[in-house]
Amino acid sequence: MPCHACGWNNPASYTECFNCHAVLDTSSSGKPDSVFDTFGKSNQAAAPLAHSEKKGAAPVSEPIAVYAGVWARIMATLVDLALVGAVMLFAVWLGTNILPTQGTSAVLGLAMILLLIVLLPAILDSYAGGSPGKRLLGIRVVNSAGEAPGLFRSFFRHGLKYTSHFILPWILRIIERALFGGHSTHNLVTGCFVVSRKAAPEVVRSAILADTGMRRFGMALRVVIGAVFAFVVLIIGSVIFSVWIHPSPPNPRADAVRDLTRSAKTITRLMESRWRASGAFASDIKALGLNGPPEGFSSVSLNEESGAIILVTTDPKLSGARLGFYPELKTKRKYVEIKKWRCGSPDLPKEDLPYSCNEDVKAFVR
């Protein structure tokens, strides 16, 4: 027989609660009503209590909401974000004004401090009974046993909470409300519950044990997500393994083209700067401020109309092959900008070209 005051499950023969000594209602028959409030609303109305005349009996108290309400959790999150943001701003200011003069080790130390600040709420949930926001709002995070979650579980919950709600902020909240009531996806996946700090540990454990549907759903959700994760890892691992077992044979000509495309960036950047400044392409390299072709090329020709750049290579492995670059334009508001430079060669087969320079440029290179 559960106590209507604290939720302690007492033997049927007891007339007083073993935990709080409140008078038990022995007049009702059948299955007693639940007194656990869920997310601020009672599942069922508590049955009328039989008030005994026995002296010394403790007065029956109102039931306490076991699970924290949605707005309490949201406010606690906002408080934590504000505090973490303030500390991070101070750390960034410290890093930009003081640490640059201290060397690389100080910058790495700052990066570790920033990571620690981001994970601080999860650490406090695991070891200090809750983050500042949760303490302020009178709530805490527990596992299915009613105890503070372990550090790894807390980290996982913390990361899943912010990544999932950052990607689908209010849409996910609506879906969670429709499917899980007041429970959140990150809590179901990690097996955590956000409960009131006022609720006694025995009441919390009883409420969680009674919530078998959500616990089973959370377990099924973890299995599905784990299976999807394992499948993705298997696919990625298979690709990496196949590349490792069967690496591409070395291709000196492709390596030479890759090096020359880096050298050609000098002229493509100058051409792009001229386009931004004047809205027109240069007709020769002197208009770009160059006295000769970039390193690795013997000559350069420019197309003033299309912006195409044709460079003749000097590398013996390429036998004087030409490389062509042409701009891909895009319209942004009232301006036309260069989106990227396409690269290829009309003289080399595609298998001798790297992925970054295997476009068909024959229409631009004559």
Q: Which domain holds residue 111?
A: 70-210
Overall pTM > 0.75: no
Long-range contacts of 150-155 (CB under 8 A, 24+ apart): 150/126, 151/122, 151/123, 151/126, 151/127, 153/126, 153/190, 153/191, 153/192, 154/122, 154/123, 154/125, 154/126, 155/119, 155/122
- Per the structure, how many domains does the chain have? 3
Residues 54 and 77 in one domain: no
Residues 108 and 46 in one domain: no
Alpha-carbon Rg for the chain, nearest whole angstrom, is 34
CA dist 48 and 27 (Å) reads: 10
Residues 197 and 325 in one domain: no
Q: Is residue 275 assigned to a domain?
A: yes
CA dist 307 and 278 (Å) reads: 13
**Token match 């500390």: residue?**
87
Chosen domain end from 10, 41, 63: 63
Residues 57 and 125 in one domain: no
Which range in 24-28, 65-69, 79-83, 235-239 is most confidently predicted, on average pLDDT?
79-83
Chosen domain end from 34, 63, 92: 63
More confident residue, 152 or 180: 152
Residues 204 and 78 in one domain: yes
In 3D, which of 272, 265, 279 has the Cα closest to residue 335? 279
For residue range 110-122, list pLDDT tens digits in order: 777 777 888 888 8
Chosen domain end from 63, 81, 103: 63
Q: Is residue 55 assigned to a domain?
A: yes
Lowest mean pLDDT among 95-104, 282-291, 336-345: 95-104
pLDDT at 362: 81
Q: Give the three-class secondary structure for 51.
A: coil
| Longest CA pairwise span in the chain (Å) | 108
Residues 172 and 52 in one domain: no
In 3D, which of 116, 46, 50, 39 has the Cα closest to residue 74? 39
Residues 338 and 279 in one domain: yes
> How many C-beta atoms surround the C-beta of residue 364 within 10 A?
20
The yes-or-no verdict on residue 64 having pLDDT over 60 is no
